[in-house]
């Protein structure tokens, strides 16, 4: 009987305390994330201090091993010491103070290690500022621009000579107008290229898509029911074909879909790139 009467009490206590436990856990997770961020920042500044200290020791070693430079630095320090020792300072002591500072400055400027210290400090602080602010300067970089190639078909027309100007970088869309299917031949320096064949009824023949690119990702959207062969050569990159992934390093690969020999509608894809991934996606 006592257990039966105490059960509602314990249930009510659990109901009341569960949000507090959840809130405590959330605060603990937040504190743990904050501590991780602070630890990461501290390790970065620790690395900065170590590098700057090593460069400073290297600069001192350079000055000590250069007799003329060492004498100039000592002469500048001596002038500053004499000027600061006398009170009140006259005009000559002020001149000595300024002259000693200039001598030390121009002596240290001749040390490559101090220049390395300054350059490293500027780069580190600048990159840290960008990281904290969350600004992405590569958002509009040319290698991240996209190219969309929309392919549609129309009834057969007479073939005439045709000449087109190609774009070397991405951010281009081809296929705003309906036109007869023709083989695709694209050359790019860099960019994210998408060739969409999703709304295309390919003729019963060998249809060819050729893409030559320096750097960037290439995606080719192929309708279901089309047999596909892919021939790709690259310096470094991945290939995604029929839900299989291949990693290539200065290699070439030639692969076929399972129905390539029986299907009358075939698409041959030939791609070459220096760096970048190629994906053949069914739609």
pLDDT digit string, tens, across residues 259-269: 888 888 889 99
**Helix, strand, or coil here: 31?**
helix
Range of the domain at 253: 142-154+166-282
Same domain, 184 and 263: yes
Asked, for residue 5, whether it belongs to a domain, the answer is no
Backbone dihedral angles phi then psi of residue 161, each to the nearest 5 degrees:
-65, 140
Asked, for residue 159, whether it belongs to a domain, the answer is no
Same domain, 197 and 78: no
Rounded to whole angstroms, how far apart are CA atoms 1 and 203?
83
| pLDDT tens per residue across span 38-62 | 555 677 788 888 888 998 888 888 8
pTM exceeds 0.75 for this model: no
Closest CA to 209 of 193, 220, 198: 220
Asked, for residue 160, whether it belongs to a domain, the answer is no
Same domain, 80 and 212: no
In 138-223, DSSP assigns E strands to 146-150, 172-174, 184-190, 192-196, 206-215, 218-222
Same domain, 83 and 105: yes
| pLDDT tens per residue across span 161-197 | 455 555 555 544 444 444 456 678 888 888 888 888 8
Q: How large a percentage of the chain has pLDDT more than 70?
A: 68
Within 10 A of 118 (CB to CB), how many other CB atoms are there? Answer: 12
Same domain, 272 and 149: yes
Predicted pLDDT at 280: 92
Instruction: Decide: 251 and 223 in contact? Cβ < 8 Å.
Output: no
| pLDDT tens per residue across span 122-170 | 888 888 777 777 666 656 655 556 655 555 555 445 544 455 555 555 5
Rounded mean pLDDT of 4-11? 46
Same domain, 177 and 268: yes
Same domain, 120 and 242: no
Same domain, 187 and 78: no
Asked, for residue 3, whether it belongs to a domain, the answer is no
Predicted pLDDT at 238: 93
Q: What angle do CA 198, 203, 205 make, to 5 degrees?
A: 120
Rounded mean pLDDT of 4-8? 45
> Residue 269 is encoded by which pair of tokens?
């894809």
Same domain, 131 and 181: no
pLDDT at 240 exceeding the cut of 50: yes
Predicted pLDDT at 35: 57
Same domain, 20 and 116: yes
| pLDDT tens per residue across span 222-232 | 888 889 999 99
Who contacts 56 (Cβ-Cβ below 8 Å, separation ≥6)?
Answer: 113, 117
Rounded to whole angstroms, how far apart are CA atoms 266 and 260?
7
Asked, for residue 181, whether it belongs to a domain, the answer is yes
Up-side HSE of residue 95: CA atoms within 13 Å toward CB?
Answer: 3
Rounded to whole angstroms, how far apart are CA atoms 116 and 52?
9
Same domain, 119 and 173: no
Tally of structural domains, the chain: 2
- According to DSSP, residue 165 is labeled P
| pLDDT tens per residue across span 69-104 | 888 888 888 888 888 887 777 777 788 888 888 888
Q: Which residue has the higher pLDDT, 118 or 157?
A: 118
Asked, for residue 1, whether it belongs to a domain, the answer is no
Same domain, 17 and 110: yes
């Amino acid at each position: 009987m006592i257990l039966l009467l105490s059960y509602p009490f314990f249930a009510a206590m659990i109901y009341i305390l569960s949000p507090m436990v959840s809130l405590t856990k959330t605060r603990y997770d937040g504190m743990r994330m904050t501590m991780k961020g602070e630890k990461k920042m501290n390790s970065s500044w620790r690395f900065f201090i170590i590098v700057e200290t090593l460069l400073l020791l290297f600069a001192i070693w350079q000055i000590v091993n250069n007799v003329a430079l060492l004498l100039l630095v000592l002469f500048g320090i001596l002038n500053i010491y004499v000027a600061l020792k006398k009170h009140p300072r006259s005009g000559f002591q002020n001149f000595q103070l300024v002259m000693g500072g200039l001598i030390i400055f121009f002596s240290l400027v001749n040390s490559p290690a101090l220049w390395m210290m300054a350059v490293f400090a500027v780069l580190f602080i600048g990159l840290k500022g960008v990281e904290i602010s969350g600004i992405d300067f590569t958002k509009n970089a040319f290698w991240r621009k996209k190219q969309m190639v929309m392919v549609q078909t129309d009834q057969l027309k007479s073939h005439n000579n045709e000449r087109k100007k190609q774009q070397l970088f991405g951010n281009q869309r081809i296929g705003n107008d309906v036109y007869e299917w023709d083989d695709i031949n694209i050359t790019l320096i860099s960019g994210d290229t998408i060739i969409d064949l999703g709304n295309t009824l390919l003729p019963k023949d060998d249809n060819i898509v050729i893409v030559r690119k320096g750097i960037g990702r290439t995606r080719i959207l192929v309708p279901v029911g089309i047999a596909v062969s892919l021939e790709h050569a690259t310096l470094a990159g991945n290939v995604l074909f029929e839900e299989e992934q291949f990693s290539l390093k200065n290699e070439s690969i030639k692969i076929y879909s399972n129905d390539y020999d029986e299907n009358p509608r075939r698409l041959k894809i030939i791609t070459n790139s220096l760096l970048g991934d190629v994906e053949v996606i069914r739609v």
